[in-house]
Amino acid sequence: MREVAILEIGQTPVSEHWDKSLLEIAGEPILQIFEKTGLKTVDSIFVGNMMSGTANHQINLGAYVADWVGALNAEAVHVEAACSSGSAAFRAAFLAVSAGDVDTAIAVGVEKMTDSPSDEITAALATAADADYERDMGVSFVALNALLMRRYMEIYGWEKEHFAGFSINAHANGVHNPNARFNFPITREAYLKSALVADPINVLDAAGMGDGAAAVLLVPAEKLKNLPSRIKVIASSAATDTIAVQNRRDPLWLSAAEKSAKKAYQQARLGPEAIDLFEVHDAFTIIETLSLEACGFADRGKGPLLANEQEISPLGRIPLATMGGLKSRGHPVGATGMYQIVEAALQLKGLCGKNQVPGARIAMTQNIGGSGSNVYTHILSVES
């Protein structure tokens, strides 16, 4: 396997992009990369997207996007793993470069959700759950997470307020991210009082959707030997779990998140204590909590202990959602995994301004598809 490095990044603000098509959104971060590097094309483009077939009536996004950015004749393909589609595209690009098959690969994650009525989006999101045993019972993704949160609170003895710190931290960080859609601070009181979506999950507990795209250019690490600092992908792993939550022995344990994190630690030859920041999948505070436990950042049932500034702010012990996370940046589902990678890379480059994690050298991202059915973990490091 060749070592793989991130040469450049691009991203659009997460927003309601009424004036831009799916294609324009997807093209933007790629064209940013072309402009910054002087490249006009690449060998391969991997497009992570969850729901363009239903939300935008357009599939074949590989060719579609390659055509738009002028990368004619490049290899280009669409990769999908529900809400972890962005990371799935990143891993596909990583494998192609790692194999020595291609020398320049772009991974881009894109989603355009706000054009469609919200009931259509809720239905489109639900296609990532089990069609026969979850979706057809009328369980939306918020409802699935609400069931998990209620059970978690009962079994482990936590109250709703104990999760507030996660959302407060994300919003505090998002304030300084020009690409964040919900870039305002929130208080504990606001969190507790916000409108219920599916009890006990309320609006400020859940990540809002959005339109957006983020991309990176991957190349063989050996080609960047002379750069002052280079960001290497030191772990890339994926694992799955039952698609239906009801089929899990312990619904409160994300085994795919655990397996994927363990593989990643093994590849990078380090453990959770070596991670300087963690771009966590905070679609809901409950899934964030379960991810933290599965990855070894908290003991089982003790995740909410981390939900305070001392632990998770950029100056804390294990900084989370450092640019706002899904919660404050926004969660354009198929793009989210790529935003996580881009933000982790920015941290390692030391470009995060008021959100900078001092001396960050090792960053981890975990991107969760479905209710933990498909999980990707990546670890990046910077060398200088």
Q: Which stretch binds its own copies (CB under 8 A): 217-225, 241-249, 290-298, 317-325?
A: 241-249
Contact between 227 and its own copies by CB under 8 A: the answer reads: no
Contact between 365 and its own copies by CB under 8 A: the answer reads: no
* H-state helical runs in 11-72: 22-37, 52-55, 61-68
Restricting to residues 131-170, name those near its own copies by CB under 8 A. 131-132, 135
CB 376 within 8 A of CB 366: yes
DSSP 4-28: EEEEEEEEPPPB--TTS-HHHHHHH
Instruction: Let me know if 19 is exposed, middle or buried by CB neighbors in 10 A (0-12, 13-18, 19+).
Output: exposed
Nearer to its own copies among residue 129 and residue 292 (C-beta): 129
Contact between 73 and its own copies by CB under 8 A: the answer reads: yes
10 Å Cβ neighbour count for 179? 20
CA–CA distance, 331 with 339 (Å, rounded to integer):
9
Pick one of 67, 103, 115, 120: the residue that binds its own copies (CB under 8 A): 67
Q: How far is the CB of 216 from its own copies (least distance, A)?
A: 18
Both tokens assigned to 247? 């089929």
Please list the residues that pair with 364 across neighbouring strands.
278, 379
Pick one of 9, 14, 33, 63: the residue that binds its own copies (CB under 8 A): 63
Contact between 236 and its own copies by CB under 8 A: the answer reads: yes
**Quick check: is 352 catalytic?**
no
Size of the site for its own copies (CB under 8 A): 64
Pick one of 12, 98, 336, 347: the residue that binds its own copies (CB under 8 A): 98
Fill in the per-residue mask, 304 to 343: x = in contact with its own copies (CB under 8 A), - = not in contact.
----------------------------------------
CA–CA distance, 246 with 242 (Å, rounded to integer):
9
- Catalytic residue selected from 17, 78, 83, 162: 83
CA–CA distance, 108 with 361 (Å, rounded to integer):
24
Tokens 């694992």 sit on residue? 239
CB 271 within 8 A of CB 296: yes
Pick one of 255, 272, 305, 316: the residue that binds its own copies (CB under 8 A): 255
Amino acid identity, residue 85? S
Nearer to its own copies among residue 66 and residue 320 (C-beta): 66
Specify the 3-state DSSP secondary structure of 206.
strand
Nearer to its own copies among residue 142 and residue 153 (C-beta): 142
Contact between 243 and its own copies by CB under 8 A: the answer reads: yes
Specify the 3-state DSSP secondary structure of 172.
helix
10 Å Cβ neighbour count for 260? 30
Pick one of 8, 14, 78, 234: the residue that binds its own copies (CB under 8 A): 78
Pick one of 114, 127, 140, 194: the residue that binds its own copies (CB under 8 A): 127
Q: Among all residues, which ones are annotated catalytic?
A: 83, 331
Binding site for its own copies (CB under 8 A): 1, 21, 44, 50-51, 53-54, 56-64, 66-67, 71-82, 88, 91-92, 95-96, 98-101, 124, 127-132, 135, 236-244, 247, 255-256, 259, 369-370, 373-374
